[in-house]
Amino acid sequence: MAGLPSLERWGSLTTRGIHVDFPFFLAPMVGLSHVALRMTARSYLPVGTQTLLFTEMLSSRRLPTERIGDRPETATEPVETNLVPQLLGNEERFIDASLRKLEAMRPAAVDINMGCPVTQALKHNWGVALMGDPAYAERVVRTTVQLSRWPVSVKLRTGLNDDLEYLLDFCRMLEDAGASWITLHPRVASQHRRGSANWDYIARARDAVSIPVIGNGDVQTAADALALVERTGCDGVMIGRAAVARPWIFWQIGEQLGLPPPPGRPEPAPDDGWAEGREFHRAFERFVGIAEPRFEGRDARKRVNFFVHWGARWLDFGHELWRRVSSAPDLTETRARAAAFFEKPQRMTARTVLRT
């Protein structure tokens, strides 16, 4: 049986309030990693286990002037005790003011985005642009660590270029600057999410530092998640796109590791494409049930549509579900159309071609 990542490196963080015994994480994703998806994913965690759940990136220029909880991006539920808000930014005064605001989210830790490759981030020297200037990136991490009451982590890419030695030096610098762990998505900036993630770099980064290294990139199934652990020795696995499509991947992983099922689900985890198709509808209903009362009408519809846009790619007829749902005038109609679609059994494929 495949094994759980080693928890050894996480152990030293317990004195700082980080309790992780199921190191499989939902990735930060703009428009997706809000309270509705986090709560949906959480409902599939093996009972009694602890993981961390990341928010999407939050602009450190915007946070200081807003009220936490007013937007879907910052809304939380009281049970969310192990939240890791992700900050996008690089200026001390904005980071300082943002950290004060984040207090209201009761975070377990704060993550710094050094992976975002969009033009806007590059222009402002945010996101992956920070990887082009290690001295500056070091200052950002040191400053954030000094200002933060919580542990600080960094999510990064391979970098602006495919240069392994540069990446390993950068990881060592992050550790020296006080990062409590790092998450590596091993693609260069210009790839965005195209091509494939170079998992070998995750193994090399793990050898280069002594803090936990979370591996990320191209995990589509529970077997992929466990293969990533096996191949790289990483201390955790972060799952993005596939966790939107099959948030029960956390249940499937737990089952393979011999952990208990999620609360209220004593049956085996969905284990074939048809069972996954049925579970998709259940997860969708749960997601809509959380989004509808928590977000304003337009915000809720937008996020439900975005969830289907990404998640339905693994359904054989996902484009049809997307077509029907995206043109629905309100969530009552959205639900009805989804229910009609799932009246006929639907099959999910284990893996799909991920182009974006």
Segment interacting with ligand FMN (CB under 6 A) among 24-32, 76-84, 227-235, 266-274 = 24-32
216 touches ligand FMN (CB under 6 A): yes
Candidates 72, 107, 115, 159: give the one binding ligand FMN (CB under 6 A).
115
**Active-site residue (options: 116, 179, 243, 283):** 116
Query: Which of 148, 180, 221 lies closest to 52, judged by CA?
Result: 180
Distance CA 183, CA 176 (A): 16
Terminus-to-terminus CA distance in the chain, angstroms?
32
> Does residue 86 bind ligand FMN (CB under 6 A)?
yes
Query: Binding of ligand FMN at residue 29 (CB under 6 A)?
Result: yes
**Under the criterion CB under 6 A, does residue 56 sit at the interface with ligand FMN?**
yes
- Do residues 18 and 108 lie in contact, with contact meaning Cβ atoms separated by under 8 Å? yes
The CB-of-115 to ligand FMN minimum distance in angstroms stands at: 5
Task: Answer whether 54's CB lies under 8 Å from 239's CB.
Answer: no
Q: Please identify which residue in 113, 143, 144, 346 interacts with ligand FMN, judged by CB under 6 A.
A: 113
In the complex, minimum distance from the CB of residue 217 to ligand FMN, in angstroms, rounded to a whole number? 5
Q: Give the interface size with ligand FMN as a residue count (CB under 6 A).
A: 23
Taking the C-alpha atoms of residue 80 and residue 96, their distance in angstroms, rounded to an integer, is 23
Nearest partner of 85 among 68, 39, 310, 293, judged by Cα = 68
Q: Are 321 and 338 in contact (CB under 8 A)?
A: yes
Q: Cα–Cα distance between 199 and 264 in angstroms, integer?
A: 35
Q: Report residue 74 as tokens.
A: 């910052």
Location of structure tokens 């579900």: 321
Phi, psi of 215 (to 5 degrees): -95, 145
- Distance of closest approach, residue 34 Cβ to ligand FMN, in angstroms: 11
Please report whether residue 23 would count as binding ligand FMN according to CB under 6 A: no
CB of 332 to ligand FMN, least distance (A): 26
Quote the least distance from Cβ 87 to ligand FMN, whole Å.
Answer: 10
116 is a catalytic site residue: yes
Active site residues: 116
Residues that bind ligand FMN (CB under 6 A): 27-32, 56-57, 86, 113, 115-116, 155, 185, 193, 216-219, 239-242
